[in-house]
A and B are shown apart, each in its own frame.
Chain A
Amino acid sequence: MTGPRAPRGIDVGGVDRRAFLRVVSAGVAGLCAGGTGPFAAPDAPTPGRADAFRFAVIADAHLSVDPRNDRAEKALLRAVADVNAMDPQPDFVVFGGDLARDGRKDALAFGARILKAVKAPVRMVVGDHDRHLDGGVAWRALFGDDAYAWTHKGVRFVVVNGVRRVGEGASSATRDGAIQGPLHADDRRWAAFEVGEEGRARLAAHLSGVTKETPVVVLSHGPLYKLHRGWNLWTEDAETVQAILAPFDRVTVVHAHAHQPLAHRIGRIDFHGMLATAFPLPRPPEGVPPLTFPIDRPNPFNPADGCGIGWVRIAADGTADVTHAWWNREPTTVTGRRMRSGGVEDPPPRARRSSY
């Protein structure tokens, strides 16, 4: 670890430990903390492998800017404090979509304001709620294009709009106008999510010229596979999207929307559902992928339980270890090794309370 710390068990300049404690108590040594954050040790980059790094994920804030219900706002502030306390800092922070509960302009702007406090660069992904009122016009005015890509330390990152509605019509990048409908996820009047023809073309374009050995990370709000149509944990054109990703050796899809950790592997593509900040959702009644680990039922008396943030550590060889940093529990890490071994290696901790 970095930072000017003396190794364990060695006196500091002839000062005994008790005396040193007193110095610390007086606030002097408080200045020289490095690499000691509670989020530090297990995920610190391996020395000598500069290309290993991690990025943080915050998702599903569902802000409403209603002073009578400020839970969601407080939760997002907590997430921001968490990522700002990560030591070492993540290379960037992905916001995984659903910043606003119903896509109102003021709520999106309020969220943008909160996210300004994030110290690391922020990358935005659009969510279905963000687009609810106007198909994403206000969101794009604040955050720019909803499909983009960049390369970071040898890893190709591609952001997709995974929450277009089947039959929505023209390109989400150009189309303006309301797609209002029932806000309830379980309402069958909702069309399913899709990346759509244009979205798929942009994804392919963002991957063109990328070698198959290059690790690829796809960031989407919707899952990019099919597990439960009822709650729109479903991507209608999932197979076509996956076909675009299939040629690459190591692909990790990081998605939100499910408000709970999910883990799935199709071919060489790993899929990870991340925690929400606003509220947890129960396990869907069908389609929970087998690599998903059991979790204890969230405590209904503590709205923060079952929520949290996450981060992804990308090793030098492109392996992605995904950590869910719960607000009321021990963090759980789903390693890339576990995913590749079909769930044999690195078993997750057992749940203590019964699940849903």
Chain B
Amino acid sequence: MTFFRGTFGALAVFATSVWFGLPSTPQDAVGPHGATPIDVQERRLDALRIGDGSAMPPGVDPEMWKIHQPEDNAIDPARVALGRKLFFDARLSRDASVSCATCHDVVRGFGDARPASEGIDGQVGRRNAPPTMNLFAVAPAFWDGRSATLEVQAIQPLVNPIEMGMPSHDAVVAKLKDIPEYPPLFRAAYGRDPNIADTGRALAAFQRMLVFLGAPFDRWRGGAADAMSESERRGFALYEGKARCATCHPLNASHPVGTDNLFHNTGVSADKRDFEKLVRKVLLALDYGNSTADVDHLALATDMGELGRFVVTKRRHDIGAFRTPQVRNVAVTAPYMHDGSMATLWDVVDHYNKGGIDNPFLDGGIEALALSEAEIDDLVAFLFALTDDRLAGPKSKAREAQYERSRTVRPFRDVDAASRRRSGFASRVFDEKDAGK
């Protein structure tokens, strides 16, 4: 507990100071819970020119798009328009201060640029808000995959007591029926009055249109040899080769956003958690309630959420495992990992380079990588080259800031572990006096 407060306090201060936002954002324009005011976000979204749902978003392979379209929620402009309105509408929260866009802020890379999100009454959860970009190819939803689809996912935050805090889905629907604009919009989109399932569908339809796949990497792979610098190209070779990133973050025609959509324990913050103790605790808790809302509560508001996928499956090999996130546009979505514990992409690569943090459930694919400093810089350069051109402004600001920080602060670097001069597990076997042997 103390750890959480201490670290998150410190990180939160840090996160606000590293977030350099968009040039178009006035420094002082801050809405409820520190989010960018909705009108600023909406203007920014217009400038990003996402599709209105009358056609497929550009850059997506038509086959992939088709595969990921649910049968009962085909994309169409009325649905996307309704979803967009709902996404920005704080009236859907108990005190009308929180909307989806509070934590999935258009100006902040569709996240909130802080380690863990702040919801209703200023309550801070335990998880980092993932960007709502490119989710058409990401499933199941949430870090622990507890929602199978975007449609199901979208209605959870509405009633989560630390996010939007509505007492029930019925209350949400009653509110929607009371707001004169909504019933006609719902009827246009789904041919019936407001209801909770269509609310989820509309939000999902809107989010599926948030596609950002126009990066230098895509132009380079499309044949424009000079679209990526030499350093970025070396970085891609490392990504696919020595650094082994592609085993879990594949980037190819069938995996366009860089996730295998599977669950892995990569040892993030593993040194700060007593997994076995948490397992006993969560099994007991789940015995008293394992409804969707209960699991949502455990994941977001308690330290048991650190067990990741285990909370959903109760399978021992899922302890500390989280769904691989996409790597698209990571330049603009700091801080990183499920708990927002890493501030820069150098930190992320340092973490992998030393073979993660040792724990019994560490994924077999996580190994010390022996990357040199120059290789780390190349790999990070490549990760920046995965940023959609429309986000080029925030990307270059983020790169400047992260680069600067990485020259002085590297909390996750461990050269001895990376080069296997020292192995992380040895301390679990030997006590001090044997260490030299």
Contacts and interface: CB of A to CB of B under 8 A. Distances in A.
Interface of A: 5, 8, 12, 17-18, 20-21, 24-25, 27, 29-30, 32-33, 36-39, 67-68, 70-71, 73-74, 77-78, 81-82, 85, 110, 113-114, 301-305, 325-330
Contacts of A21: 285, 288-289, 294, 297-298
A63 to B, nearest CB: 11
A82 B429 CA distance: 16
A57 B301 CA distance: 38
Contacts of B345: none
A110 B426 CA distance: 10
Pick the 7 closest A-B CB pairs, nearest first: A304-B364, A33-B280, A303-B364, A81-B360, A30-B281, A25-B302, A36-B283
Interface residues of B, number: 40
Contact of A77 (B294, B317, B429): B429
Contacts of A330: 315
Contact of B317 (A29, A114, A327): A327
Contact of B287 (A8, A67, A329): A8
22 contacts: A12-B288, A21-B294, A21-B298, A25-B285, A25-B301, A29-B284, A30-B281, A33-B284, A37-B279, A37-B280, A38-B279, A38-B283, A38-B314, A67-B421, A67-B422, A70-B423, A77-B428, A113-B430, A302-B364, A304-B364, A305-B364, A328-B317
Nearest to A21: B285
Contacts of A25: 285, 298, 301-304
Interface in B347-403: 358, 360-365, 367
B276 to A, nearest CB: 6
A247 B430 CA distance: 47
Contacts of B422: 67
Contact of B365 (A27, A33, A37, A301): A301
A301 B284 contact: no
A115 to B, nearest CB: 10
Interface string B133-166: 0000000000000000000000000000000000
A77 B425 contact: yes
A82 B276 CA distance: 10
Contacts of B284: 5, 24, 29-30, 32-33, 36
A110 B429 CA distance: 8
A24 B285 contact: yes
B364 to A, nearest CB: 3
A71 B428 CA distance: 14
B276 A33 contact: no
Contacts of B277: 30
Nearest to B434: A113
A17 B298 CA distance: 13
B44 interface: no
B170 to A, nearest CB: 18
Interface string B3-38: 000000000000000000000000000000000000
B410 interface: no
B428 A303 contact: no
A135 B90 CA distance: 75
B316 interface: yes
Contact of A114 (B304, B361, B429): B429
Contacts of B430: 113
A20 B288 contact: yes
Contact of B276 (A29, A81, A301, A329): A81
Nearest to B1: A27
Interface in B251-296: 276-277, 279-281, 283-285, 287-289, 294
B250 to A, nearest CB: 10
A329 B421 CA distance: 33
A33 B281 contact: yes
B420 interface: yes
Q: Interface centre among A25, A32, A71, A305, by most B CB within 10 Å?
A: A25
Contacts of A114: 429
Nearest to B370: A68
A36 B361 CA distance: 19
A36 B303 CA distance: 19
Contact of A73 (B297, B298, B425): B425
A329 B263 CA distance: 12
Given A30-B280, A67-B423, A301-B365, 7 more contacts: A20-B288, A24-B281, A30-B284, A38-B279, A67-B420, A85-B279, A305-B364
A321 B359 CA distance: 30
Contacts of A32: 284
